[in-house]
A and B are shown apart, each in its own frame.
Chain A
């Protein structure tokens, strides 16, 4: 997303053009509105807002995603009988993962699914909180530490019958490789005894990875796996199981169902994680969801980027 503030740093301008510095000796006044994890999102799950959001999702977001990301949706037959609500746990490489996954969900989930979004990133400003909770039914999730508030909110959302999309990596991948799955989604599943549906999302890093300023058209894949019920009380162990399932779903996309099943049986499923951050060869060989539409970026759009690169 193009950010003007990236180029014009208001804080760096001298007072009174820039923000005044707060004296350390003076106690800060509490913020007027609750932000971050304290941001109130109950209103975004009310029937009226849900109805408006359904229209936006079906008539705006979905067509837009279809044009931008041309998703191939696989495995929906595996979640036909899963009792709602459920927790969708996916790998995360791009901002478009959320709308892509939301619009790929079968009808019975699509309009009653909330999204766990980083409290520090999506809810640090009031307007951002309103936008994301309105458009995606986002709820604030603490990424750094496990807070009681985040936990209670997620549990409440599930107990209200809403499914939840969580990205257990805790943020977008910086390089296209997945990162270790944290225990948040697993812990929530264990506590609420709701099944986790593993999801592999492929191709989104190439379209709008962390390094990109503007999205580039391409093709994506969303592969849903069989639901996993929490069989252990150890969130770390369960997170590993979820990660293994997502990895297998990726293998299924890049090879085929039977090869992926055999690889998992023999414990040789190719990892989604990077083992050597320094190696260009590994990055070169990273499995990419093919069929990326190669289109030249518009010169005027790339200019600010290039300028930055050569600075």
Chain B
């Protein structure tokens, strides 16, 4: 049976309830009659012969690029950059699509006699990946061949000798990227496009850049004007990256972009109920939901977290395109939208969403309150084209436990941001002007970023800017089932039941509001008419 497109349910009396993610657990909520629940399209069929599809993409490049084989020659310097652990979510079952792609690229490089090859994880200001994560991403064979020889690197955006200044855009945005990449005869970028924000010029211009370069688009002004940053044409974030991409291209640094898209098959069969519409749950689905949610309710959060982060997604490849960056990205977006886009007519007063245990920045780690904010108001809120799912001045209700818990190894600067910055103000502009520079240039955070596995000192600020557009747009944010202390620190309202949350929302949107629920997982993107 062909996969069904997205679906919008109008809630009526005969309806079983709606599943909400609630961190490392679930909630089954009854929404008021007349509410809309947006279900994502079903998973598209995966390409069966991945290697042949990759071969075809490498031999038939998009845009004005030559085929990969024609670009490779003996004696050249080749840099292969790839997306870091923030993609895909959760991590894929082995083999990761990056490892298959990198191997196919290396096979061609070996045939062409290219000796000088370096692999770089394009971290930007993200944390360095752990050995296991790196091994998972590139595969055992590539890891064992390159890592011991120091040829598998992680981008260091704070290494003064490792960066190269390329120039600046017509708007004065400085472009600085990895020296190794800048001095290469060819950069091959291996990307995974989980959402429409990923890929394109953002891959190199952000992934391999430095704070000096990133601050031109990772700021409040850009984010408020990115409506949304998931929509290439209306995203100021992308416009800036595209300008930077052109500077890199004009500097004569050739990039061969390889972009992949995945289907919606996010969870293994044990969790198949997560990917089904509630009224279609079989006996097995209901049994596994009851067993899982009851067991999780009695499991300490750290253990539940470990269990969930152990999940590997059986994602399937829906498309692979290679060649010139912009032409490739155009094809990629078509594939992403084919899998994720749902047409929705009109905005509503309230938008509800359940947040899962994982976001791009807490893989194998804790989702702290700042990341809850970023995932809800940054990512989920922005999963739209045209206009937001909620009207200006509307309310967003987020379901998540929002515990005051931090990972001191991965997120050290988040702790200080929560204690010292959010206690003073939650206004993104004020935060940016008063605090950003001191965190960005703090030598201890830089040391932890460069030598440990810590996110850069400035990263929590970016998380806060990520939600700036939503903060600007919304009347109120209510967190359902969250720790009241953490919720109030974030500047939001806290509710313990859905009815309470709706009653609180009525202060902002009246007594008979319209409500839309963004049903996730898997991911969906709303095209709002």
Asked if B117 is an interface residue, CB under 8 A from chain A, the answer is yes
Asked if A264 is an interface residue, CB under 8 A from chain B, the answer is yes
B49: nearest chain-A partner, CB-CB: A81
B107: nearest chain-A partner, CB-CB: A261
Please state if A259 and B145 are interface contacts (CB–CB under 8 Å).
yes
Residues of B within 8 A of A80 (CB): 95
- Chain B contact surface mostly: helix
- Contact of A265 with B142 at beta-carbon distance under 8 Å, contacts A81-B49, A226-B51 already known: no
Asked if A74 is an interface residue, CB under 8 A from chain B, the answer is yes
**Which of A102-110, A182-190, A250-258 contacts its partner?**
A250-258
A77: nearest chain-B partner, CB-CB: B95
Docked Cα-Cα span, A225 to B527, in Å, equals: 45
Asked if A19 is an interface residue, CB under 8 A from chain B, the answer is no
A264: nearest chain-B partner, CB-CB: B110
- Contact of A257 with B115 at beta-carbon distance under 8 Å, contacts A81-B49, A226-B51 already known: no
B48: nearest chain-A partner, CB-CB: A81
Docked Cα-Cα span, A258 to B94, in Å, equals: 20
- Contact of A258 with B142 at beta-carbon distance under 8 Å, contacts A265-B111, A265-B112, A266-B113 already known: yes
Please state if B145 and A256 are interface contacts (CB–CB under 8 Å).
yes
Please state if B110 and A262 are interface contacts (CB–CB under 8 Å).
yes
Please state if B141 and A252 are interface contacts (CB–CB under 8 Å).
yes
Asked if B144 is an interface residue, CB under 8 A from chain A, the answer is yes
CB distance from B147 to the nearest CB of A (A): 10
Contact of B115 among A226, A256, A262, A264 (CB under 8 A): A262
**How many residues of B are in contact with the other chain, CB < 8 A?**
26
Residues of A within 8 A of B99 (CB): 77
Interface residues of B in 77-101 (CB under 8 A from A): 94-95, 99
Interface residues of B in 29-57 (CB under 8 A from A): 48-51
**How many residues of A are in contact with the other chain, CB < 8 A?**
16
Please state if A257 and B50 are interface contacts (CB–CB under 8 Å).
no
Interface residues of B in 108-149 (CB under 8 A from A): 109-113, 115, 117, 139-142, 144-146, 148
Please state if B50 and A258 are interface contacts (CB–CB under 8 Å).
no
Interface residues of A in 230-257 (CB under 8 A from B): 252, 256-257
Please state if A81 and B50 are interface contacts (CB–CB under 8 Å).
yes
Residues of B within 8 A of A257 (CB): 103, 106, 141-142, 144-145
Residues of A within 8 A of B49 (CB): 81
Residues of A within 8 A of B139 (CB): 77
Please state if B94 and A77 are interface contacts (CB–CB under 8 Å).
yes
Please state if A261 and B95 are interface contacts (CB–CB under 8 Å).
no
Please state if B48 and A261 are interface contacts (CB–CB under 8 Å).
no
Residues of B within 8 A of A226 (CB): 51
Please state if B106 and A74 are interface contacts (CB–CB under 8 Å).
no
Docked Cα-Cα span, A80 to B107, in Å, equals: 19
Residues of B within 8 A of A258 (CB): 106, 110, 117, 142, 145-146, 151
Contact of A261 among B94, B106, B140 (CB under 8 A): B106
Please state if B113 and A265 are interface contacts (CB–CB under 8 Å).
yes
Residues of A within 8 A of B48 (CB): 81
Interface residues of A in 254-295 (CB under 8 A from B): 256-259, 261-262, 264-266
CB distance from B145 to the nearest CB of A (A): 4
Docked Cα-Cα span, A74 to B144, in Å, equals: 12
CB distance from B472 to the nearest CB of A (A): 46
CB distance from A116 to the nearest CB of B (A): 27
Docked Cα-Cα span, A47 to B510, in Å, equals: 68
Residues of A within 8 A of B145 (CB): 256-259
- Over the window 16-60 of chain A, the binary record of Cβ atoms lying under 8 Å from chain B Cβ atoms (1 yes, 0 no) is 000000000000000000000000000000000000000000000
CB distance from A77 to the nearest CB of B (A): 4
CB distance from B73 to the nearest CB of A (A): 12
Docked Cα-Cα span, A256 to B49, in Å, equals: 25
Docked Cα-Cα span, A77 to B140, in Å, equals: 10
Docked Cα-Cα span, A75 to B146, in Å, equals: 17
Residues of B within 8 A of A81 (CB): 48-51
B147: nearest chain-A partner, CB-CB: A256
Residues of A within 8 A of B109 (CB): 261, 265
Docked Cα-Cα span, A262 to B106, in Å, equals: 9
Docked Cα-Cα span, A226 to B52, in Å, equals: 11
Docked Cα-Cα span, A98 to B142, in Å, equals: 28
Docked Cα-Cα span, A261 to B99, in Å, equals: 15
Docked Cα-Cα span, A77 to B96, in Å, equals: 10
Docked Cα-Cα span, A256 to B152, in Å, equals: 14
Docked Cα-Cα span, A257 to B143, in Å, equals: 9
The 10 closest A-B pairs by CB, nearest first: A261-B110, A256-B145, A257-B141, A258-B145, A265-B110, A77-B95, A257-B145, A265-B111, A262-B110, A256-B144
Inter-chain pairs besides A256-B145, A257-B144, 20 sampled, C-beta below 8 Å:
A74-B140, A77-B94, A77-B99, A81-B48, A81-B49, A81-B50, A81-B51, A256-B141, A256-B144, A257-B106, A257-B142, A258-B146, A258-B151, A261-B110, A262-B115, A264-B110, A264-B111, A265-B110, A265-B111, A266-B113
Interchain residue pairs with CB less than 8 A apart (18): A75-B141, A77-B95, A80-B95, A81-B50, A226-B51, A256-B141, A256-B144, A256-B148, A257-B103, A257-B106, A257-B145, A258-B110, A259-B145, A261-B109, A261-B110, A262-B110, A262-B115, A265-B113
